[in-house]
Chains A and B, each alone.
Chain A
Amino acid sequence: MGRTWAMIERELRRFRRSPMLIMVSLVFPIVQLVVLGYAFGGNVKHLKLAIVDQDHGVPAVRVHELASAASAGARTIDVLDYTDQGRAVGDLRNGLVNGVLTIPPDFSRRVLAKDAPRLALIEDNTDSFVSVALAGTMGGLIAAYPVPAKVPRLGLEPALDVVEVYPYVPYVQYLLPGSVVMSIFMMVMIGGGIIFIDDKARGLHEGYLVTPITKFELIAGFNVSGTIKAVLAGMFLIIIGSFIAGVPNPLGLVRLFRLLVVVIVTAFALISLMFLLMVRVTDPLLPRAIFGVLNTLLYFPSGAVYPQQGFPTWMQYIAVADPFTYAVHAFKNLLLKNTGFEAILFDLGFLLVFSVVSMSAATLLFKRTL
């Protein structure tokens, strides 16, 4: 074990002497958390809505007032009055407005006659986020219009009351578990991938291979040191990220302990994967070249940024084999729901089995000679 510790000591001393490396590997996931969290998490506002009133009756004016109220309140829409339907649609096509609400000439008559009055919303659906937000806003607005279409024959209609178990989770919080896994992966990729291959190419490994260190001690040295570095990165992001994302009670000791366990298991699973991928690689360009692909392949199918239920079938297959999936799920439970280990036992089990399988395969492939 003394030789393994010598390898670990060497790696950690080198790590400590590389402040730029530490900075880059820690700052990137924080930047990603902040930028993605606030870029995707906010409410869409100030969508330009053209209203073409072809009716001018009192009910039409009421619709106009409701739209103006939404504009003044939630500021989701900015109302623009148009008199010409053709010009409004032309401006929609040219991107000057995001939607056109047409109040047809018989709207007031139908409202007063309780004859299913209809409004038309013409949308630019090339941007689904905008069109969904606009349709949602206008749907709510029309639902609030006080015109019962018909008198219900039954006195009671079924109603759904929604109760939320947890406090509101902003998107930046939703993204935090994925960013924690990403920070661990970044450190694994740089320390276990890029530096490992660079050292090999520079001939540093020759220096160890001529010593009496055993294959097991060498592999343990590389991987335990990589795990320690990744654990430091993961815990750093959990603490800083929790403050940034507004996670309640970010320094709770019990939860921090549970998080530490998941960070250690995740770090070991990812370093095992990286070691398996890099064990026979000698070209220093390769880890750099596959970094982007690997990052995309592991991060996005994991459910870190979007629910996996929305994925096509083939991507769900990737998600099943993706260690990120289980790490993200475990971190979501601990960070967003503050659960205990019982909720993440399967995740921990998968990550441990994944580590054992990957490390065993890598050990078989590792050559004690050049």
Chain B
Amino acid sequence: MSAIEVRSIVKKFGQFVAVNGISFAVEKGEIFGLLGPNGAGKSTLIRMLTTLLPPTSGTALVNGFDVSTHADDVRRAIGVIPQAMTSDLELSVEENLIIFAKLYGVPRPRRRQLIDELLEAVQLTEWRHAPVKHLSGGMRRRVEIARGLVHEPRVFFLDEPTTGLDPVSRAAVWEMLRKVKAERDLTVLITTHYMDEADKLCDRIAIVDHGELKALDSPLRLKASIPSNNTLDVSFSSTPAGWIAALEGLPGVDSVAGEDQLFRISTRNGPATTLALMEAAGRAQIAVQSLSVQSTTLDDVFVHYTGRGLRDALQDAAPKDSAFMLRRG
């Protein structure tokens, strides 16, 4: 049995289709990423899976329970970190955990033990009595992670858990997630619009755009699935006539773009193309002034499957997001 199984799920707000017939399954123990820009439908999808929004059509099973018909069973099985920081700022770290443990009905002796363990796991033991409002953004996120695990859930949902955090705090949150996932045998579903986060953290990634699933696989397979998986940026001392054609004839090359002495070469085989390039330059007695080889990134994957860069998509999504929020409000 999969930890999460989504079948043709749809969510409409009036005429606006936020999620359009998405299907996928998340296996137990996986870290599964939903990657896409703001407004892609990731948060709506996670809200349906966490029983916060009823689906318009389709079904979703979480830990074997239907989110529409067995919502309470789903709620007992999941831990959720919403996109907004939802801890009580006036309460201390420990008080936040105690209140949520009580809301989940965790018995008192187990509650005490779990809170101690979780504070240790998220490295906040020495801050347990500090009001949350006195903590940094990264520490608050760690409080939320501990809070989401205070009832020992089987499936853990995190909606953009590192948005707004600095790179050091983001790395700390990733590390924390890997650790608690391994220690507690969790299945994790995470939404993000950070490519590096999805790449480094997730076992599999679903690329979502305009409410539709565009691609789903492991980061490595996704990168390998697109035609070019290396980019060579190279500059030469001079370029004889017909030099672009010579570059296009190198092994593995898909395309060559450039002007003057500076070129960008997309290739399916970075090492072979690089070797052939150096040999061709030697034969033509042209000096290679600079050369860098880049692997295919998830951004390239995103461009391939959605037709636009994630950064562009993020900028495009901003006004749509506002309209969506107003509509929902």
Q: Please give, as numbers and ranges, the residues of chain A lying within 8 Å of B305 by CB-CB distance.
A: none
Q: Please give, as numbers and ranges, the residues of chain B lying within 8 Å of A208 by CB-CB distance.
A: 103
Whether B329 lies near A282 (C-beta < 8 A) is yes
Q: Provided the pairs A370-B47, A370-B53 are in contact, do residues A9 and B86 lie with their beta carbons within 8 angstroms?
A: no
Whether A206 lies near B103 (C-beta < 8 A) is no
Whether A14 lies near B102 (C-beta < 8 A) is no
Q: Please give, as numbers and ranges, the residues of chain B lying within 8 Å of A204 by CB-CB distance.
A: 86, 88
A210 within 8 A of B: yes
Shortest distance from the beta carbon of B111 to any chain A beta carbon, whole Å: 11
Task: A359 to B203: give the CA distance in the assembly, Å.
Answer: 48
Task: A3 to B88: give the CA distance in the assembly, Å.
Answer: 17
Shortest distance from the beta carbon of A243 to any chain B beta carbon, whole Å: 32
For the residues of B in contact with A, the DSSP-based class is loop
Whether B329 lies near A6 (C-beta < 8 A) is no
Shortest distance from the beta carbon of B43 to any chain A beta carbon, whole Å: 10
A369 within 8 A of B: yes
Q: Provided the pairs A13-B91, A210-B52 are in contact, do residues A202 and B84 lie with their beta carbons within 8 angstroms?
A: yes
Chain A 281-292 per-residue mask, 1 if CB under 8 angstroms from chain B, else 0: 011000000000
Whether B90 lies near A211 (C-beta < 8 A) is no
Shortest distance from the beta carbon of A286 to any chain B beta carbon, whole Å: 11
Whether A6 lies near B102 (C-beta < 8 A) is yes
A121 within 8 A of B: no
Closest chain A residue, CB of each to CB of B76: A212
Shortest distance from the beta carbon of A294 to any chain B beta carbon, whole Å: 21
Closest chain B residue, CB of each to CB of A282: B329
Whether A212 lies near B99 (C-beta < 8 A) is no
Q: Please give, as numbers and ranges, the residues of chain B lying within 8 Å of A211 by CB-CB distance.
A: 75, 100, 103-104
Within 8 A of A (CB), among B13-62: 47, 50-54
Q: Please give, as numbers and ranges, the residues of chain B lying within 8 Å of A370 by CB-CB distance.
A: 47, 52-53, 328
Q: How many A-B residue pairs have CB under 8 A?
A: 76
B131 within 8 A of A: yes
Shortest distance from the beta carbon of B133 to any chain A beta carbon, whole Å: 9
Interface size class of B (residues with CB under 8 A): 20 to 34
Chain A 208-233 per-residue mask, 1 if CB under 8 angstroms from chain B, else 0: 11111100000000000000000000
Closest chain B residue, CB of each to CB of A370: B52
A203 within 8 A of B: yes
Shortest distance from the beta carbon of B220 to any chain A beta carbon, whole Å: 33
Task: A202 to B82: give the CA distance in the assembly, Å.
Answer: 11
Whether A13 lies near B95 (C-beta < 8 A) is yes
Chain A 1-38 per-residue mask, 1 if CB under 8 angstroms from chain B, else 0: 01101110110011001100000000000000000000
Closest chain B residue, CB of each to CB of A203: B84
A207 within 8 A of B: yes
Whether A210 lies near B50 (C-beta < 8 A) is yes
Shortest distance from the beta carbon of A279 to any chain B beta carbon, whole Å: 14
B313 within 8 A of A: no
Task: A349 to B198: give the CA distance in the assembly, Å.
Answer: 61
Q: Please give, as numbers and ranges, the residues of chain B lying within 8 Å of A206 by CB-CB distance.
A: 52, 80, 82, 84, 86
Chain A 102-132 per-residue mask, 1 if CB under 8 angstroms from chain B, else 0: 0000000000000000000000000000000
Q: Please give, as numbers and ranges, the residues of chain B lying within 8 Å of A18 by CB-CB distance.
A: 90
Closest chain A residue, CB of each to CB of B103: A211
Q: Please give, as numbers and ranges, the residues of chain B lying within 8 Å of A6 by CB-CB distance.
A: 99, 102-103
Q: Which residues of B contact A (CB under 8 A)?
A: 47, 50-54, 72, 75-76, 78, 80, 82-88, 90-91, 95, 99-100, 102-105, 131, 147, 328-329
**Other 19 A-B pairs with CB < 8 A, given A18-B90, A212-B103, A283-B329:** A2-B105, A3-B105, A6-B103, A10-B88, A13-B91, A17-B90, A203-B83, A203-B84, A203-B86, A206-B52, A208-B103, A209-B51, A211-B103, A211-B104, A212-B72, A212-B105, A369-B51, A369-B53, A369-B54
29 A-B pairs with C-beta separation under 8 A: A2-B105, A3-B102, A6-B102, A10-B88, A10-B91, A13-B91, A13-B95, A17-B90, A17-B91, A202-B84, A203-B82, A203-B84, A203-B86, A204-B88, A206-B80, A206-B84, A207-B82, A207-B100, A209-B51, A209-B52, A210-B50, A210-B80, A211-B100, A212-B75, A212-B104, A213-B103, A282-B329, A370-B47, A370-B328
